[in-house]
Amino acid sequence: MARTLPPVQAIRAETDALFTQGRDLVEVIEDVARFGARLIIQTAVEAEVDAFLGRARYQRTATATAAGTFARPTRRSVRVASGRRCSEPAPCWVCCDWSVQNERLVAGYLDALAAADADRALSLFAPGGIVHSPLYGTLPAQEFYPALFADTSESRLTLRATMTGKRDGRTVVSFWFDFDWTLASGEPAPFTVVDVAELDDEGRITRLHIVYDTAPIRGAFERQRS
């Protein structure tokens, strides 16, 4: 029987295979960007599942009931935002405190982008917060948002999904959304993006990694800058 790779390993294998197919380099780079976004999302999802199970998702447990089976997650009690408790065999995605806080963070961030409100965006960052952007480079958050909004005449944002995971014990929130961006020149430059926010213990963003393919919009961006 063929062995199925875990999704993260499968995406990495697909990415490696891109460079062995003799395709045009520009097409390969575009696919690498798309696969990179998939990898970020899948890694965040698997980290969250692993944290809940207390083991790697694909790791067999000592309590497996038969060959080829895995132990079912035990029911546990979870305190939810309303103060009541609920018993769920899986995380309470909608109402748990951490989920509500992260959803509010994402909603507040997208509201700040849509309003081109630098102060509101910066209020979500820890002191010294950093933004890694494929278009603007790596900048302190306090420099990135004024630059972004100076280049913007209008933004319309549509959230697709939000994912939460852990990295080195810290919470990581990833959010996938459509950014219908109109430049200050009036030229449209829409794109789809995944933002990956590393949070401190107080839920503030310490680093924001912005992941998207800049090729379709870079020409319009550079024309405005020239």
* pLDDT top residue among 12 and 130: 130
User: Sorting pLDDT into bands at 50, 70 and 90, what band is 115?
Assistant: very high
The tens digit of pLDDT for each residue in 131-148 reads 999 999 999 999 999 999
Confirm whether 177 is domain-assigned. Answer: yes
**Which residue has better confidence, 26 or 170?**
170
Position 23 pLDDT exceeds 50 = yes
Residue 148 and residue 219 share a domain:
yes
- Whether residue 2 lies inside any domain: the answer is yes
Q: Give the structural domain span for 202.
A: 103-225
Output the pLDDT for position 173. 94
Reported as a pLDDT band with limits 50, 70 and 90, residue 58 is low
pLDDT score at 25: 64
User: Does residue 77 sit within a domain?
Assistant: no
Co-location of 21 and 129 in the same domain: no
* Closest C-alpha among 107, 198, 104, 112 to residue 148: 112
